[in-house]
Structure 1
Amino acid sequence: MMDLQPADTDLHRTSRYDTEPLDMVDQHAQIAILPGAGPLQHKARVALESHRLTIAKNWLNRMISEIEDLHTLETFPAQESIKASLDILEGLALALDDDRVLEEFEPGGAYYEKSASMGLVGSGTAADIISVCRNMHSLESAIWELMVDTLRREDQNVLRLVMRLRRGLNGISMAATQACQARANGELDRMAYTDVLTGLYNRRHLLRELERNTEVYRRYHHPFSLIMLDLDNLKGLNDTYGHAAGDSALRHVATVMKASTRDVDVACRWGGDEFMILMPETEKRVVEIVAGRIDESLRNTKLRVDSGLLTLEVSVGSSSCPVDGTESELLLQEADASLYRLKAHKRRGNLPASESSTNA
């Protein structure tokens, strides 16, 4: 554990507040002192100022103990953090009886900026946010304990009640922070692996799942298949009816795909007018069944464009592991090749029985 020692100049920091009587400090400051609370505030301020070195050392050592990667530890701004922590604790002491100092802890204030710098230590991960919360709670607890040890018994009882309440409130704050961060991370993860237009998975997610399935096959010999679909004449649809109609067509195909596949299947928009379905535990013959199901659904459902109804056409290619290979690259190449073989046959008007397609 790094034992933090501040520079000598920081040990004897003084301000005009240290040399003037409490009732003479800045006649223009808006001091909010309850009846009978003046001595209590003064005593608390003196206690905090006289022990700020110990509190700062414990606070910073706690922050260092939370660091989990070597780079962040090596780049920890030790001297800057020592100075900032001492300044913050001095500000807290002064704020006990001076509202103008307390305002400096609000956004835009000097102590607010110093406090923000203490939250920049870390690797920038979600866990750091929770760590900051824990460190702040630790700092607060140290200050409360110091106050309790310093004050008379009647005041101690009041502060103990406050400490208990603050402990509960800190728990609420940390729980809410964790839940908010988890939700934000889940949304970011969803956005990273989801196609915005169709709501299907995107290419990145399918490639990740493809690698996982090839690894499963190497270890346990579980087969799987790929289906590649291409929405025919999307360009013509865009040119004739506009890109909004083209987007509707892509969403329509996505809806049919999701309705025609299992929960364990991975349906994705591969890019442009192409889609892909990864089907775990599936052999070649099942691919033809699923392709036929998609074909039938597209024939039976029409896409409304302007005042008319259109039937969409797709071409389908496929590959299966291990029949067409056991490496992801080979399987993608075969699915793509079989798709374009079919499209070539469709252009010539002679569709082979072994290839799957939808035509309406």
Structure 2
Amino acid sequence: MLRTLVLLACLAGPAAAGTLRVAAWDVGLARGGAGVLLGELAKPPSPQIAAVAAVLQSVRPDVVLLSGVDDDHQGMALAALATMLAAGPDGIAYPHRFRAAVNAGEPSGFDLDGNGKRTDWADGWGWGRFPGNGGMALLSRLPIDAAAAHTFRLLRWHDLPGALLPTRADGTPYPDAASAAELRLSSRSHWDVPVTLPGGGTLHLLASAPTPPLFDGAEGFNRRRNHDEIGFWTAWLGGAVFPDDGGQPASAPARDFVVLGNLNADPADGAGLRDGIAGLIASPRLQDPRPTSDGGRAAASPGHAGAPELDTADWDEAGPGNLRVDYVLPSSDLAVAGAGVFWPAPGAPLAEAVAAASPHRLVWVDLSLP
């Protein structure tokens, strides 16, 4: 393993002194039933879980947003994952963790898919087989100020300025007026989580994991929701004020923040409404480090308009081709010291582990500390 880590220095390398490595990764740890992931983590690691650990122990982010990970509402699976990551000679300790309820799998009480039932997977406030299915979590080596965090899971979709709410062909609300009035914007949640920096400052992590813009009918429910989940950040950073889940009005931080997560949208390719992600990237309050990888370049999808080295998801076998859907976008006032997508070229160290871990690739950005 030591030889592997030395070879990996040319791929991601450890964060340099005086920098903070912030990462986002959809780890693909969503399972088919409540408690299944926790049960897996109580056993010797499966090939996939071992691969997830190998990637994180090699890239060694100081703070990482994990999406696509089941939440058991007590944080037991997240704690078990952190324990596994800390083990062994290459272990990395994450003593600080943040998790909160998500809309995925949370029953809405409405028939959101219009099939006459109110208990299907598609009838949750966000799609999911059970509450917390495919949620989000933060692991951090630095203290998290959970008391100062804002979550926006309960925000109604129609409260977003300019919301692209789905409608039926006749222009009436989809799926009906009663449920449309209560639809939540977040398929999982939107978080503003402050992390305390070594010098005493604060870095705000603005985290989300919007729904894929797929599996739609003519109303375009998921495409519109994906667009508007991303649009939440554009509106918030542009000065909009939203009530958090405690009912308190919350404004965006003035400086020192990072928007991160699997946003499930590519500005050049794929099925999404591209102006949503393009508008966020173009926000004057953000900068795009345009992280790249040799693996993405080598796996270019024919016919795509976007630069393949920017891609973060390997979907060639699944239909849409490889896309850039995972992001770490620092605020414009922060100094970026480096960035990358952890996607080794074929035959490079950990290339097989990366492929075994998840269709998504970890994205990292190194920020210079003040």
TM-score (norm 2): 0.22
Q: Which has the higher contact order (CA 8 A, sep 6+)?
A: 2
Structure with the bigger percentage of strand: 2
TM-score (norm 1): 0.22
Larger Rg: 1
